[in-house]
Amino acid sequence: MFAPSTAIAKKSLHGRTAVFGRKLLIVISQIALVAFAYYASFQLRFEFTLPKDAREMFGESFLIVIAVKLAAFYSFGLIRGWWRYVGISDLLDITKAAFTASAILSVLLLTIFRNEGFPRSIIGIDCLLTILVVGGARFALRAYTEAVERHAGEKNTLVVGAGPEGASLVRDLRQSADGGCNPVAIVDDDISKVGIKIHGVKVVGTTESLASVIARHDIKCVLIALPSPSNKQVQRIIENCRSSRVEFKILPTLGNRINGHNVLGLLRNINAEDLLGRPPVSLDVQAIREKLQDRVVLITGAAGSIGSELARQVASFHPSRLILLDRSENDQFRLAMEFARKFPEIDYVTAVGDILDVGLLRELFALHRPHSVFHAAAYKHVPMMEQNCFQAVINNVLGTYNVALVARQFAVEDFVAISTDKAVNPTSVMGVTKRICELIILALQQQQTRFLAVRFGNVLGSNGSVLPIFEQQIAEGGPVTITHSDVTRYFMTIPEAVQLVLQASTMGRGGEIFVLDMGEPVRIRDLATNLIRLSGLQPETDIHLVYTGLRPGEKLFEELCLAAEDTKPTAHEKIRVLDGGFIDFRQVREWVDELSALATAKNVGGLVSKLQDIVPEYTPSQGLVAQCDVDRHDFALRRGMERAYLVAPIREPAPARARAV
């Protein structure tokens, strides 16, 4: 019945014994350190040749010095504690104790050895050596303990890149207590850097010797920190990592981390976007800030892929208010939750509504008086819009017309419409409607509002784009479906596209179409095979490729400009501009009236004919042409059974809400 109390007593005794043992060890170590410091001070004072009288003074004063210093250390709490946790406060205590002891010793020793001429300089030298030796010993033990504990469970890590990104990564890895990675080597293709050390880690070679470096240093993880790696460079690094069976991650380029600060936290797995070989986007941040800071900004389609990234990047420039308009309630809710978490200081408004609702548009513009509008709302999926051509025309053309006209009526300073390369020589309803949107923008020029459009290609990772489709197919075990073995597309990452849109918005006088430099077109088959390899699988072995044929409205390749369009360079190397020419607004209003009537009447043939009249270079798909031959009796029957919507384009100066009849 006394066993528990006996066990507790034994445990308590063991604890007291451990504490006593630790204190005894500290006392012994302190005696040794202060003795060494005192002896070294004599050696330094007499230039390492002690005369007899100096040796006698040292022996007679030794115990006094030890006793005074131990008493000083005890009074400042330096006899207890853990050296492994020593910090600046401990160093300050050591300094105070050393100076206190030296002050006492100066009185005692100079009094005791008054007739023998005790050297005063020894007291000063001893004080400095005591601080250096005692403090250095503690910090050395702490550094050793941390190194042993930190590296015990960490993986030997190779950093690719000895530039600022690589240096920041090495520094963060060495300072991180739980990073899991121990940087042991760096490689860089700049030969002049080979042999130098960065934060204590040596540059041991170039990426050409990657495999041998991995084997020689027993590397378990490779971290790529290159400022603008090329497609081939990334692929070569990946192949070396795969053949060496090590894991690898990449640090996004500056263009994809404009708001990033913590380098270590930005590391991620390599994805297909990294294989585009994009150089970082350089921005005139000051010009964008002057345009957006403390201004009211409205974004349509704000919950979509492009719109939401626009909202994030605009928020980083601290507008006075951000109006987020989208008709998807669920997506708006997710965006609002993200903003509440990431941008709590931003005054934002989530407006759920449709760009066809002119009454809502007028209310938003009248209430918030936006200075700038980014119009990203649109139907964009080519095959789906071929099957829903009326809705494509109503949403894309009439919606853009409504937003642009309300923006002009409320004297918005800047209106930026997001366009697409599919508007060039269009073969789809989606493409031709976006081209008409460009013509609307060109027709609305005036001094109060600056209208411009920004045209770019496919955006990797956007909703419904090829990348998430491929990822889902690979996750399901395949096959990966590709429309054609030779189909190519221009690609941009979402952050890259949005950054260039913001940059283009600071340029021009109005009436221009800005074209983003999309680099070289990418073959979709190559994109699919690279993505399969990034997933740790082999194309045609683990995951098969299936070719389904081009869908209605799709082209084998895309173009960024018409043959007759003369693009000119701008101040930004990745943005070109073309003058869209003069478009009569009365002509645009007639087009909108006619398209509205044809869409309301469900007249496919008339709609296609009118689209070709407006955009002569438009070539309708065979599927849409077939719809034009629908039996007229069947059309009349549909008109009797369906609810028809009359989409009324707005009129100046009194816009009216779209109404149903």
For 410, other C-beta atoms within 10 Å of its C-beta total 18
Give the pair of three-digit tokens for residue 231. Answer: 């497609």
Contact 482, 524 (CB under 8 A): yes
Burial degree of 539 (CB within 10 A; 0-12, 13-18, 19+)? middle
β pairing state of 522-523 and 488-489 = antiparallel
Q: If you search the block for the tokens 């330094």, which residue do you land on?
A: 44
Active site residue 422: yes
| Residues contacting 426, CB < 8 A, separation 6+ | 432, 434, 435, 615, 617, 618, 619
| Residues contacting 201, CB < 8 A, separation 6+ | 159, 170, 174, 183, 184, 185, 186
Question: Please, what is the Cα angle at 291 between 287 and 295, to 5 degrees?
Answer: 150
Contact 412, 456 (CB under 8 A): no
Give the bridge partners for 349, in sequence order.
323
For 49, other C-beta atoms within 10 Å of its C-beta total 7
Burial degree of 150 (CB within 10 A; 0-12, 13-18, 19+)? middle
To 10 degrees, what angle do helices 285-292 and 494-504 make? 70
| Residues contacting 144, CB < 8 A, separation 6+ | none
Give the bridge partners for 595, in sequence order.
none
In sign, the C-alpha dihedral spanning 255, 256, 259, 261 is negative
Report in angstroms the alpha-carbon separations of 195 from 215, 305, 613: 18, 45, 68
Give the pair of three-digit tokens for residue 272. Answer: 């297909």
| Residues contacting 209, CB < 8 A, separation 6+ | 187
Q: Convert 103-147 into a string of H (helix), E (strand) and C (coil).
A: HHHHHHHHHHCCCCCCCHHHHHHHHHHHHHHHHHHHHHHHHHHHH
Using DSSP, state whether 542 is helix, strand or coil.
coil
Residue 247 and residue 241: Cα distance in Å, rounded?
A: 7
Residue 257 and residue 359: Cα distance in Å, rounded?
A: 39
Give the pair of three-digit tokens for residue 647. Answer: 């989409």
Give the bridge partners for 159, in sequence order.
186, 223
Rounded-to-10 torsion of CA 542, 548, 553, 554? 40
| Residues contacting 503, CB < 8 A, separation 6+ | 283, 284, 287, 288, 572, 575
Residue 31 and residue 137: Cα distance in Å, rounded?
A: 13
646 secondary structure, DSSP code: -
β pairing state of 458-460 and 491-493 = parallel
228 secondary structure, DSSP code: S
518 secondary structure, DSSP code: -
Using DSSP, state whether 418 is helix, strand or coil.
strand
Active-site residue, selected from the candidate residues 422, 434, 555, 574: 422
Instruction: Kindly list the catalytic residues.
Output: 422
